[in-house]
Structure 1
Amino acid sequence: MLAAGATALLVSPLGARMAFAAAPTERRFVFLIQRGAADGLGIVAPVGDPAYAGARGDLAADFATAPKLDGMFALHPAMPNLAGLYQAKQALFVHAVASPYRDRSHFDGQNVLETGGVSAYQLKDGWMNRLLRLLPSGDKAIALAATVPMALRGAVEVASYAPSSLPDASDDLLARVTAMYEGDRQLHPLWQEAMATRMLTGDLGSDGGKKAADTGTLAAKLLSAPGGARIAMIETGGWDTHSGQRGRLGGQLKGLDAMVAALKAGLGPHWDNTLVVVATEFGRTVKANGTGGTDHGTGSVAMLLGGAVQGGRVQADWPGLSDAALYEGRDLKPTTALDVLIASAVSSHFALAPARTAKALFPAMTTAAAMEGLVRV
């Protein structure tokens, strides 16, 4: 049993793993979910679109001096580490992307994103757990989340590193317990791990990115351990920016940037064989509301990061931001299917058959053609 402050959860196996890959892999995969609907237009801005400045109003101000990615897009200035990855061709941004979900409920949208269905609660297990059934049994998975997220639930056993749901203890009490366990060979390492996982809660920008960086470091440690996990899911919250978006989103992106930088540093040479997919359940409205925020939308941006990524570009079938081009007159129109993107990247990363992988991960996917050139093979 772990010390108070952290729990380790297991999802019991309900069926055998089908190993289509021949041997254990040294490749790492991380799925980082942005819960709350991240504003893709506020992350990778289409500054070259003639309608951009007028449509976004004050939300465009942060991009006046933002680093340009190409002639059309700029990256939010709160992410210098991701800008460096882009320059090193280890970051690929895919814009105007969305899952099959077209309504605006967080719970339903996240369920579609995590299960890989075309409607909420259609499937009972997650696409990441089904991915594990395609990989060797030695390729374990772990969730850095309060509970095992839907994306990892299913037949294959999955561990979860999670903070306790009990009320926060005072710093004085934690210091006293730390001192009490200092000489205990069994409890001291467990308590140290509990203190590390305690840092997982809260918005990414709540402390300037320190907790987010600690999460990235912890994830790297778990993914680098001999015989440890090779697949991980990291939950992040705080992306529901209905008001005061500029300041809040900037803090969120600073935390995300710190998390990815810490993950890269902690993985060391393993980073070269790592793919990180960052995605959200849906995007946000193009135009701001009356409180300086945005409301639930449709199209957003997804990120592929890592040494395994064939990056240094923004991939987009850009629909435009004119009023006539918007989805339902308010949202960025999605032109790229998120399920196709994920299936294509993952199958290439793990050298799996694209069609078989797509069918296993997203059984109701309607688009047959895989996207090419996403990762280095």
Structure 2
Amino acid sequence: MTLTRREFLKGTCATAAAGAVGGPALLFADSAIAAPNGHDTVVHLFLRGGLDGLNLVVPIDGADRGFYEQARPNLAIAATGAYGALPLTLASGAGTGFGLHPSASGLRDLWNAGHLGIVHACGLLTSVTRSHFDAQLYIDLGTPGQQGIGSGWLARAMNTQPNLNGAEKLPALGVGARQPVGLLASVQALTMASPSDFALNAGAWSWQTVRAGAPTGFAGVNETLAALWNGSTALELGGQRADRALKVIAQQTYSAPPTGWPTGAFAQQMWTIAQSIQFNLGLHYATLDLGGWDTHDGQGTAGSGYHYYQNKIAELSQALSAFYAALDASGHAGRVTVVVQSEFGRRVRANANGGTDHGYGNPVLVLGGAVNGRRFYGSWSGLDPEILSPHFGDVPVTTDHRRVLSEILVKRMGNANLSTVFPGYSGYAPLGIVRDFGAVAKPMPGISTELRARSAMAAQPRVEDPDLLERLMRYMRELVD
């Protein structure tokens, strides 16, 4: 293959642009014109590292409480008291035999309000592994036992999503520094760590864009790249998508979290998703991670002083609670469904290092305005050692995690293409954890979609001076080198 000098210069610009916004993190979207939010949004939260589900959803009475305390004499969450588990009751007031970690008060409140359901003993039903890498990849790809499919389940869901009309400006979003595997092979998704960093701002400040006092006829890197990407080659089409993706984010009124919002990177990411939903850009699928759950030693329980696991649960609970409250206040909560899962649970029996090792079955949380909440779903086998013994001391998986995701796809997204989204999966039957989309559809309140205008992005002069263009290209090549 041969390249003309002009094509090479375009390539260096494209490479520099991609590097300036995070390399593989740059994916593509169309130009920023708001679309009505008349659909559901699925938010997939992956707790990387293997969440200890038994210390999040805690047995608080009956025989299982005794087995739990025997297996975790120094790691068990108390059943009562100042740092005791928060009881989970049914709408009738009857007990469930379980409670939440005392730091999960936000999740408890969502449960009591009927917006949180929990699927017991969920996970990889057809593929047993204690490898973080394998288990995470199986879930991200949606193909337990198979890793070479080349696309993520979220990408396939996006690619088969009915009723997309092309007006969606941000149909899928991954919040993180790198493209989520779940969105692998989707060209409709955009990935960014934070809106404030999603911009071409590398290199000399004065070269980035046109600003007050710039020489007549000057165009910065941002304006020049957009002018160069006007052909029909694969490189130029990719550049056009990249430019539109940058404009989608630049034209939205992303802001710092409101007063009282939880602190930390994860809470900030949840705020980014909340705003992206409220901007009515057609967001259908969003995904993000919260790592740090591989608690082999020094896990901690609950109480005064430092407890690692206690702090992680507080981080999770507070951010999810704030996220739901923000969407509820803006009228969007009824059309957002959040799935919280980890690659596997932890062993029932604590280890000798004050922690827990890799296990199997685990709770999956589903929250949102359309959730049939304040209920447990799936099948709970109990913690009797005789039941656990055939599963090497682990909580067995009794519900395939794809069953939960399939119900949300079918009922909330209207996407029944399950054989494509989850190849090899069959026998789907709904658990009843969410209501059909039409059952809760209501007119949405008007949300302002006025876009922020930047003077630098408005009708800038083209670069007609060939010497100026050559200097700019030389500078871009130096950046790449």
Please report the TM-score for the alignment, with normalisation by the length of structure 2: 0.64
Q: Does 1:274 align with 2:274?
A: no
Which whole-Å CA distance do the structure 1 matches of 2:343 and 2:109 have between them? 26
Cα separation, 1, equivalents of 2:160 and 2:276: 21
1:67 is matched with 86
- Counterpart in the other structure of 1:124: 150
Given candidates 330, 349, 374, the residue that maps to 2:412 is 349
The aligned residue for residue 301 of structure 1 is 363
| 1:253 corresponds to 2:272 | no
Which position in structure 2 is the counterpart of 1:53? 69
TM-superposed CA distance for 1:80, in Å, is: 1.0
TM superposition shift of 1:92: 0.4
Alignment counterpart, residue 224 of structure 1, candidates 256, 278, 290: 278
Q: 1:91·1:312 contact (CA, 8 Å) conserved in 2?
A: yes
Question: Is 1:83 aligned to residue 140 of structure 2?
Answer: no
Question: Structure 2: which 5+ runs fail to align?
Answer: 1-16, 30-35, 89-94, 198-204, 213-219, 223-248, 301-306, 437-481
Q: Contact 1:96–1:300 (CA<8 Å) still a contact in 2? A: yes
- CA distance in 1 between counterparts of 2:268 and 2:192 reads 13
- Equivalent residue number for residue 144 of structure 1: 175
1:193 is displaced (CA, Å) by 9.6
Distance in 1 (alpha carbons) for counterparts of 2:123 and 2:68: 20
Contact 2:121 2:363 in 1 (8 A): yes
Q: Where does residue 265 of structure 2 map in the other structure?
A: 211
One-letter amino acid of the structure 1 residue matched with residue 354 of structure 2: G
- Whole-Å separation in 2 of the counterparts to 1:212 and 1:11: 21
CA distance in 1, matches of 2:253, 2:289: 18
Deviation of 1:3 (Å)? 11
Corresponding residue for residue 19 of structure 1 = none
Q: Aligned partners of 2:429 and 2:37: how far apart in 1?
A: 24
Q: Which residue among 422, 426, 449 is the counterpart of 1:362?
A: 422
Shift of 1:72: 1.5
User: Structure 2 CA distance, aligned partners of 1:209 and 1:239?
Assistant: 19
* CA drift at 1:328: 2.9
Aligned counterparts of 1:24 and 1:196: Cα–Cα separation in 2: 23
**Offset of 1:224 from its aligned partner?**
1.6
Could you say which residue in structure 2 is the equivalent of 1:162?
Answer: 193
Distance in 2, Cα, partners of 1:123 & 1:255: 34
Distance of 1:57 and 1:209 partners within structure 2: 33
**How big is the shift at 1:209?**
5.0
- Structure 1 residue 11, shift from structure 2 partner: 4.3
Larger Rg: 2
Alpha-carbon offset, residue 42 of structure 1: 1.2
Q: Is 51-60 or 99-108 further displaced after alignment?
A: 51-60
How far 1:140 sits from its partner (Å)?
0.4
Percent identical residues: 30
Instruction: Report the equivalent of 1:374.
Output: 433
What do residues 284-306 of structure 1 show as CA deviations (whole Å, max 9, x unaligned)?
Answer: 10011011100111111100011
SS at match of 1:58: coil
Shift in Å, 1:142: 0.5
> What SS is found at the alignment partner of 1:29?
strand
Residues 111-155 of structure 1 show CA distances to partners (whole Å, capped at 9, x for unaligned) of 000101121414211111111122214370000111111111114
Q: Return 104-113 or 260-269, whichever deviates more.
A: 260-269
Distance 2:173 2:22 in 1: 14
Contact 2:157–2:415 at 8 Å: present in 1 too? Answer: no
Distance 1:226 1:370, change over 3 A: same
CA contact (8 A) 1:55 1:286 kept: yes
Contact 2:48-2:290 at 8 Å conserved across structures? yes
- Residue 318 to residue 372, structure 1, CA distance change in 2 (3 Å): closer
The aligned amino acid for 1:146 is A
Q: Which amino acid aligns with 1:130?
A: R
Tell me if structure 2 keeps the 8 A contact 1:223–1:232.
no
* Alpha-carbon separation, structure 2, partners of 1:319 and 1:238: 28
Which range is displaced more, 46-55 or 87-96?
46-55
Distance in 1 of aligned mates of 2:366 and 2:274: 17
Classify the secondary structure of the residue corresponding to 1:331: coil
Q: Find the residue that maps to 1:81 and give its secondary structure.
A: helix
Q: In 2, are the aligned partners of 1:210 and 1:258 still within 8 Å (CA)?
A: no
Distance 1:209 1:44, change over 3 A: farther
Quote the offset at 1:85 in angstroms. Answer: 0.7
Distance in 2 of aligned mates of 1:3 and 1:132:
26
- Please report how far the alpha carbon of residue 55 of structure 1 lies from its aligned counterpart in structure 2 after TM superposition: 1.8
Q: 1:31 aligns with which of 44, 49, 55?
A: 44
Is the contact between residue 340 and residue 358 of structure 1 (CA under 8 Å) also seen in structure 2? no
Corresponding residue for 2:92? none
Answer yes or no: is the 8 Å Cα contact 1:94–1:301 preserved in 2: yes
Distance in 2 between residues matched to 1:227 and 1:303, nearest whole Å: 26
Shift in Å, 1:226: 2.8
Equivalent residue letter for 2:150: K
What RMSD in Å do the two structures reach over aligned CA positions? 3.2
> What letter matches 1:28 in structure 2?
T
Measured in 2, the distance between the counterparts of 1:142 and 1:4 equals 19
Letter in 1 for 2:191: S
Q: 1:285 to 1:309 in 2, by over 3 A?
A: same
Query: How many residues are aligned here?
Result: 337
